[in-house]
Amino acid sequence: MGSVVFQAASGGSTSIVGTNTASAYSINVPASNGVLVVSDSATGATSLPAGTTAERPVSAVAGQFRFNTTTGSTEFYNGTTWTNTNPYTLTYPVEYLLVAGGGGSGGSNAGLQSAGGGGGGGGCLTGFSKVVTAGTTYTIVVGAGGAAGPTAGSNTTALSLTALGGGYGANPQISTGAPGGAGGSGGGASISSGVSDSGGAGTTGQGFAGGQSGTGSQYNGGGGGGSASSCIGNPSQGMVNGGNGIRTNIRNSTEYFGGGGAGGTAGSGGLGGGANAVQGGQGLAGTVNTGGGASGSSGYTGSGGGFTGIGAAGGSGIVIISYQSETQKATGGTVTSYTSGGFTWWVHTFTSSGSFVA
């Protein structure tokens, strides 16, 4: 039968009154409401304006009504936000990974043959069934790495969840070591003139404690930073490694995030952005957008000399959100997709703060 399109003239409106075999009808199209399409059939149907989330009116007016091809549902503008009207498509599950900023590392003092603790990896949160509401905007905050000196990493927040920043690696004090700072994962302790201390506490479900610094020898390094999977330390050999971070394939490849930084003097950073130690030198920064902890600075040069350093900064965090759908549902971040087992997955990666519109 086809269809008839009625459009209001500029500055006015169009009214049509008539009858069909079922009942009388009346159509009024105000100029402010745009286009209305009415099916020319015995049963009758109306086709709404349709478009993607990105194609919503720039200056929406309360009461406007449309079909969103991104979410597959009708929606209306209530004067503040677009609201999904279909109760069967209001929500859908997403997989997520939140990684906070890694902790900054401790420095060293040449006169004390000291070594700073490694920064803790940023706290990590991951899950597979977080439910989001279509059309809703979720604020994403990606935590910065802690500064050298040292400072704990900043928190990362998304989807009403918070991953805590990695604890700082301790700075040597005048005559004793110092404890690492608490955080998502704990920072490592420092050593000074042969005196050690304990690592900082981690947070249950996000990371582990930092490593204790070596004892009985001025050559042992500060404690390695804790991480989301483990904290590894072996001070008896003069090496305190950062713990490996969390392992994930949320982007369809194996990756690690939230590794702890190595203690000063010797040792390796944990997988997931943790920095390696540099003997007799400045600590190294954690890798950006991994939540990796920085490595501690080392005062021991290996030749009887000394080095004074201030430590290094932790790596910034990251947020990754993924969902299964034939078409892209959400916007925000850097969007990629992959196919696995016959299903398409959409991945939104945030390396800085922004918004996820479900």
Q: Are 62 and 167 in a shared domain?
A: no
Of 8-12, 326-330, 338-342, the least confident: 8-12
Measured CA to CA, the distance from residue 298 to residue 339 in angstroms comes to 47
Q: Is residue 88 pLDDT above 90, yes or no?
A: no
Structure tokens at 140: 């994403």
Domain, as residue range, for 53: 3-84
Q: Are 47 and 137 in a shared domain?
A: no
CB 182 within 8 A of CB 194: no
Q: Is residue 238 pLDDT above 60, yes or no?
A: no
Per-residue pLDDT band for 91 (boundaries 50, 70, 90) equals confident
Q: Are 74 and 115 in a shared domain?
A: no
Query: Minimal CA–CA distance to 212: which of 201, 220, 223?
Result: 223
Q: Are 274 and 332 in a shared domain?
A: yes
Q: Is residue 276 pLDDT above 80, yes or no?
A: yes
DSSP bridge pairs for 125? 98
Q: How far apart are the first and last CA of the chain?
A: 38
Q: Are 110 and 43 in a shared domain?
A: no
Query: Minimal CA–CA distance to 144: which of 321, 260, 272, 289?
Result: 289
CB 250 within 8 A of CB 301: no
Per-residue pLDDT band for 223 (boundaries 50, 70, 90) equals low
Q: Are 51 and 105 in a shared domain?
A: no
Task: Kindly report the number of other CB atoms within 10 A of residue 186's CB atom.
Answer: 39
CB 30 within 8 A of CB 66: no
pTM: 0.75
Q: Are 324 and 234 in a shared domain?
A: yes
Final residue of a structural domain among 18, 51, 84: 84
Final residue of a structural domain among 84, 102, 130: 84
Q: What percentage of the chain exceeds 70 in pLDDT?
A: 77
Kindly tell me the sign of the dihedral angle through the C-alpha atoms of 206, 276, 190, 173.
Answer: negative
Per-residue pLDDT band for 196 (boundaries 50, 70, 90) equals confident
Q: Are 143 and 276 in a shared domain?
A: yes
Structure tokens at 319: 């947020």
CB 235 within 8 A of CB 129: no
Of 181-190, 198-207, 208-217, 315-324, the least confident: 208-217
Measured CA to CA, the distance from residue 36 to residue 312 in angstroms comes to 62
Per-residue pLDDT band for 158 (boundaries 50, 70, 90) equals very high
Measured CA to CA, the distance from residue 176 to residue 196 in angstroms comes to 7
Q: Is residue 201 pLDDT above 60, yes or no?
A: yes
Helix (H, G, I), strand (E, B) or coil at 123: coil
Longest dimension (CA), the chain: 104
Mean pLDDT across the chain = 81
Of 53-62, 78-87, 93-102, 326-335, the least confident: 78-87
Measured CA to CA, the distance from residue 171 to residue 187 in angstroms comes to 11
40, burial (CB in 10 Å: exposed 0-12, middle 13-18, buried 19+): exposed
Q: How many residues does the chain have?
A: 358
Final residue of a structural domain among 60, 84, 108: 84
Q: Are 39 and 108 in a shared domain?
A: no
Q: Is residue 139 pLDDT above 50, yes or no?
A: yes
In the chain, the number of structural domains is 2
Q: Are 67 and 166 in a shared domain?
A: no
Q: Is residue 22 pLDDT above 70, yes or no?
A: no
Structure tokens at 88: 């069967």
| Residue 157: predicted pLDDT | 98
Q: Are 109 and 79 in a shared domain?
A: no
